[in-house]
Amino acid sequence: MTESRSPCTLSPMPHAHDSTTDSFLLKIQNLDAGFGSFQVLQQVAIEVPAGETLVVLGESGCGKTTLLKVIAGLTPVSSGEILLGDQRLTDQAPGQRNVIYLDQEPLLFEHLTVAENIGFAMSLRNEPPAEIRSTVDEMLTAIDLKDHADKREHQLSGGQKQRVAFARAVLAQPQLLLLDEPFCSLDGKTRDQMQVLFHQLCRRYALTCLFVTHDVKEALITGDRFARMTAGAVTIYSDRNAFISDRSTGVMDEIRFWRETASGLE
């Protein structure tokens, strides 16, 4: 793999749709969840428009992963509602929710090649073989793994596996994509590339995403909307400027750090 390459710019998808700010696909209301008597999530309220990415910034242990697992149906709800379109997710089993949960573990199909893994969902939908090949080929180029198309899981590095898992999730076209710090295991340069690629693919496929991270830079690159989680409670910001200007997010501290560092190098 040539790490110096940047992800390619993907051509527009003809079926991708434009989101509207008043069309909320995901609505979470008064959500409480926890383990036994310990409540991890407290009265969480979130709205995410169709085709947009809400980034939830928070430190380890604040409840970010629990939030995603509750939405995916992997952790039970104590009280509250989770609505996805016109579906009440708390009434549905995990496999019925049309939600994909992607974390740091790639979980590829070992018996399939890289290309077959990426195109797996398209094959399940019985899409034309020529269309599958074309779409997978373009995706392989985008994630810089075209030369690895015929390899299997055991022949890939950790970062390569994660890119394949991400590409596979995108082409599955879920109604909602949940991302639990999916790029944290990648080296710095590859992580930067994947953040940009993520943003491109969200636009191309009109994906609705909930992305949790502890990294300020990653939040700003990947997000359309922003929230901060502290001790299981979520603060929603009205816009990017409000997120940046709130000292508790750490954005201003990071800006000051890099200004001081640059000044010291002069």
Phi/psi at 110 (nearest 5 deg)? Answer: -65, -30
The domain 24-102+176-265 having CATH identifier 3.20.20.70: the answer here is no
Query: Domain extents for the chain?
Result: 24-102+176-265
Residues of the chain with pLDDT under 70: 1-22, 262-266
Tokens of 217: 């830079």
Report yes or no on whether pTM surpasses 0.75. Answer: yes
Number of other CB atoms surrounding residue 175 within 10 Å:
16
Q: What is the pLDDT, as a whole number, of residue 252?
A: 81
Q: What are the C-alpha distances in Å from 109 to residues 52, 112, 114, 153?
A: 29, 6, 9, 7
Q: Render 106-129 in DSSP notation, one character per residue.
A: ----TTSBHHHHHTHHHHHTT--H
**Exposure on the CB side of residue 24, measured as CA atoms within 13 A:** 12
Q: What is the pLDDT, as a whole number, of residue 255?
A: 78
Question: What ranges in the chain are assigned the alpha helix state H?
Answer: 64-72, 114-118, 120-124, 129-142, 158-171, 188-205, 216-222, 240-245, 251-265
Residues sharing a CB contact under 8 Å with residue 238, sequence separation 6 or more, in sequence order: none
CA distance 215 to 158: 20
Q: What is the pLDDT, as a whole number, of residue 177?
A: 96
CA distance 236 to 228: 7
Q: What is the pLDDT, as a whole number, of residue 75?
A: 93
Q: What is the pLDDT, as a whole number, of residue 264?
A: 67
